[in-house]
Amino acid sequence: MTPRQRPDDARQRALRLDAADGLARFRELFVHGDEGRIYLDGNSLGRLPEATRERLRRAVDEEWGRELIASWGRGWFDAPLRTGERLAPLVGAAPGQVAFSDSTTVNLYKLAGAALQASGERRRVVTDAMNFPSDIYTLHSVARTVGAGASVHVVPGDGVQPDMARLLAAIDEDTALVVLSHVTFKSGYLHDARAVTARAREVGAWVLWDLSHSVGVVPIELDAWGAALAVGCSYKYLNGGPGAPAFLYVRRELQERLRSPVEGWFGRARPFGFDLDFQPAQGVQRFLVGTPPVLSLLAVEVGLEPLLEAGVAGVRAKSEALTAFLIERFDARLAPLGLRLGTPRDPARRGSHVSVLHPDGYRVARALLGAGVVPDFREPDAIRLGLAPLYTRFLDVYEAVERLARVVEEGAYLRYDGTRAAVT
């Protein structure tokens, strides 16, 4: 396929790819109340699974409305660990190492804080500038408050990928902890987690992976990599709903060595014993803190099911095909218009979202939304297109690129206001 092919050829190919898609039937497990719009933001907020509606109705009307407090003993109290076990295969974790709790940020604080308090003389935290900025804020706050002189070393990148030579060189004998986003939020760069973790282990450093942009769409092998810790959110490819509770992973052999800086009753051996002394629970439970937001957590649990049924291998294969098709269409239609690709071309280094860059990207993104395609925008110039293999079609990708090309070609974006809204 070359740019010289007629547009219809690419459209026909998208239709053929959709017809041959082994995951096509999963699309019907999700609500498409926005018929007509092409939703390419499942990497930010995953679609509503049909089953979630009924699960929440039951949780509200029956469990809260009728059974009330008794529901704590009939599935609510166990939900953080039970949902963690359900997620475990998606992150390559044997049982007893994953739990749902708090937000990604709070979990990062707890685990990075625990690690720094257990790492002796080592006082260095290494991350890269492509990590989610909030993670970097949190690492600074950990260093300032519980880090006992720790410093945060941020390795620069070129905006698309990190400088791997510098990153690996920065991981040294003084390094307590390496904290990276498995897939970076803006460019969609996919770290070679096995190699980075192995390098860190060679010098005795622990690695904490933020899996927010990879979980549910990229194969993850925390146990096999030798990762120490991980955190992640559940509202993207896990389809858990807006602000759904986050998860954490603590490698089994570290669990008894680490204590969360933030301790509360849900992390205690017998939460309802109400003794005045705190004894951390055995296992990963000790990293729980307070009462979890049950409704949001039950939505996560049911939202995982389509992914578990589809299997990550098939999801990853379709994701690679979708991003490859998008980049092909980028080359055909968008590169000639002056847009730049903000995502690695090597499929092995790519997650499931693709950023296309335009100097006036905010207005272009707004115009694209006006044309019925939902992207998101990341400062200063990235139009981010997320491809969720359970419900994104190749035809969606084809159409989205065509519409994006048109709003740029026709200058439609110039009619939009570039003033940033509070939420973009």
Q: Given the complex with a copy of itself, which of 251 and 384 has the nearer CB atom?
A: 384
Q: Given the complex with a copy of itself, which of 77 and 96 has the nearer CB atom?
A: 77
Choosing from 26, 39, 132, 391, the catalytic residue is: 132
Choosing from 235, 266, 391, 398, the catalytic residue is: 235
Choosing from 329, 384, 393, 403, the catalytic residue is: 384
Q: Given the complex with a copy of itself, which of 266 and 398 has the nearer CB atom?
A: 266
Q: Is 384 a catalytic residue?
A: yes
Beta strand pairing status for 340-341 and 353-357?
A: antiparallel
DSSP assignment, residue 382? Answer: E
Q: Given the complex with a copy of itself, which of 60 and 198 has the nearer CB atom?
A: 60
Choosing from 135, 210, 381, 396, the catalytic residue is: 210
**Nearest distance in Å: CB 55, a copy of itself:** 10
Q: Given the complex with a copy of itself, which of 226 and 261 has the nearer CB atom?
A: 261
Q: Given the complex with a copy of itself, which of 244 and 387 has the nearer CB atom?
A: 244
Q: Note whether 109 and 115 are within 8 A (CB).
A: no
**Nearest distance in Å: CB 225, a copy of itself:** 25
**Nearest distance in Å: CB 136, a copy of itself:** 6
DSSP assignment, residue 392? Answer: -
Choosing from 110, 199, 236, 318, the catalytic residue is: 236
Distance CA 14, CA 8 (A): 10
**Nearest distance in Å: CB 356, a copy of itself:** 17
Q: Is 235 a catalytic residue?
A: yes
Backbone angles phi and psi of 231, in degrees to 5: -140, 165
Reduce the secondary structure of the chain to three states and give it as a string: CCCCCCHHHHHHHHHHHHHCCCCHHHHHHECCCCCCCEECCCCCCCCCEHHHHHHHHHHHHHHHHHHHHHHHHHCCCCHHHHHHHHHHHHHCCCCCCEEECCCHHHHHHHHHHHHHHCCCCCCEEEEECCCCHHHHHHHHHHHHHHCCCCEEEEECECCCCECHHHHHHHCCCCEEEEEEECECCCCCEECCHHHHHHHHHHCCCEEEEECCCCCCCCCCCHHHHCCCEEEECCCCCCCCCCCCCCEEEECHHHHCCCCCCCCCHHHECCHHHCCCCCCECCHHHHHCCCCCCHHHHHHHHHHCHHHHHHCHHHHHHHHHHHHHHHHHHHHHHHHHHCCEECCCCCHHHECCEEEEECCCHHHHHHHHHHCCEECEEECCCEEEEECCCCCCCHHHHHHHHHHHHHHHHCCHHHHCCCCCCCCC
Q: Given the complex with a copy of itself, which of 225 and 377 has the nearer CB atom?
A: 377
Sign of the dihedral through C-alpha 164, 165, 170, 173: positive
Q: Given the complex with a copy of itself, which of 111 and 321 has the nearer CB atom?
A: 111
Q: Is 394 a catalytic residue?
A: no
Q: Is 186 a catalytic residue?
A: no
Catalytic residues: 132, 210, 235-236, 384
